[in-house]
Structures are given as structure tokens and as C-alpha cells.
Amino acid sequence: MSTLESWVAAVCSELGLAGELDRDVILDTARDVAHAVARPAAPLTAYLMGRAVGAGADPEEVAARVRRLAESWPAE
């Protein structure tokens, strides 16, 4: 198990979270936001995505919507 996998498992255990985690969707979306918007936007966006999913939104749909928004974000 990699350090990342161990960390995610430990955080999920600590926070009482169960279920599958598609880390590639999260990391890919964070990467896209970091490149298209700003680096500090990536962790904040991941948090906001988590809130949306926690409120019942579909994770894949949330990621797709955020990616579309990042792709359309005006360059500075």
C-alpha cells in the first residue's frame, strides 16, 4: 500500500467514512482546476466537491460540472 493509500485509509477511518473513493476523479479534477484557475483553488474545490457529494450529489456529475467550469474559466 502506498503512502497515499495509507493516508486516505487512515483519514477515512478517523472520520468514519465508508465506501469507495475514486481518488483519480478527485485528483484529476483538482489538477484541472489548479491549471485553469489557480493552484490554491484546487484544495478548496475538492472540499466543495466533497460537500456537494455529502449532500447527495453524484460524484462523477460533480466532477464533470467542475471540470466544465474550470475549462471555461477566463485566463488572467
pTM: 0.86
pLDDT at residue 21 is higher than 90: no
Q: Where are the beta strands (DSSP E) in the chain?
A: none
- Residue pLDDT, tens place only, 39-66: 999 999 999 999 999 999 999 999 999 9
Whether the pLDDT of residue 72 is over 90: the answer is yes
d(CA 12, CA 31): 22
Cα–Cα distances in Å, from 22 out to 18, 29, 34, 72, 73? Answer: 12, 11, 19, 24, 25
**Contact (CB, 8 A) for 14 and 49:** no
Q: What is the DSSP letter of 74?
A: P
Three-state SS for 18? coil
Confidence bin at 20 (pLDDT 50/70/90): confident
Q: Is the pLDDT of residue 19 over 80?
A: no
